[in-house]
Amino acid sequence: MESITTAIIAKVIMLSMIVIAPAYILTGSLLREKVEPVPQEPVKVAKKVDEKQLKCLADNIYHEAGSESIHGQAAVARVVINRIRYGFANTPCQVVYQANMITRIDEATQQLVKVKLCQFSWVCEKSNNKINPARYRTAKQVAYDVLAFDAYKDVVPKTTLFFHNLSIQPNWPHHKVKQIGNHIFYTKAKYVAKKPRHAKEQTVAIAD
């Protein structure tokens, strides 16, 4: 009788192990999954953006590169920010509306005249063309991202301070950095590190 009881107890223990073991394995795997850290992207904290500065930067992006790709617009915005860092002026508005008075000979009268020379041509030209709302919204968003999050930092190097449209050839003494869409971007030659002989200037054509 004792041997029969012992046999029954042994079978019960074996059955219990068969039932408990899978549950333990399943529970253990779930616990391991919960313990493993889930990678998360760092939270971007927006800086406070002054509405006046935002408008100045958005206006400049729109007038200079409103028909360009996002990267083309961002590159124009980064030039403004770079100029602040290099002491051209203290704010985006000051950079955008910065101008100098120069003296030159008027071809018609052959007289010396003073002429206002703007850093960005649209400022002096004061175009009366109707604003395209969709394009302006895009320009304003790019401007906000640059001011609030310091976005698009890698579009052009931090030393990029000048650009011009392909329609003109100003013969500047500066060093070409890259072409994005219809604009060529430059830095001062003194900021250029020596490059290997096989290195080439970048030409970027990015579609939205």
| Range name among 5-14, 78-87, 138-147, 157-166 with the lowest pLDDT average | 5-14
- In this prediction, residue 41 has a pLDDT band, given cuts at 50, 70 and 90, of low
Is the four-CA dihedral 206, 74, 165, 130 of positive or negative sign? positive
pTM for this entry: 0.71
Phi-psi region of 130 (alpha: psi -120 to 50; beta: other; left: phi over 0): beta
Tens digit of pLDDT for each residue in 194-206? 543 443 444 333 3
Can you read off the two tokens belonging to residue 138? 């895009």
- Residue 180: φ, ψ to 5°: -125, 115
Tens digit of pLDDT for each residue in 77-122? 999 999 999 999 999 999 999 998 777 787 778 777 787 889 999 9
Is the four-CA dihedral 89, 90, 95, 100 of positive or negative sign? negative
CB 57 within 8 A of CB 79: no
**Chain center to CA of 164:** 19
Q: What is the largest CA-CA distance in the chain?
A: 132
Helices (H) and strands (E) in the chain, counts: 6, 6
Mean pLDDT throughout 13-42? 52
Which residues touch 191 (CB under 8 Å, ≥6 apart)? 159, 175
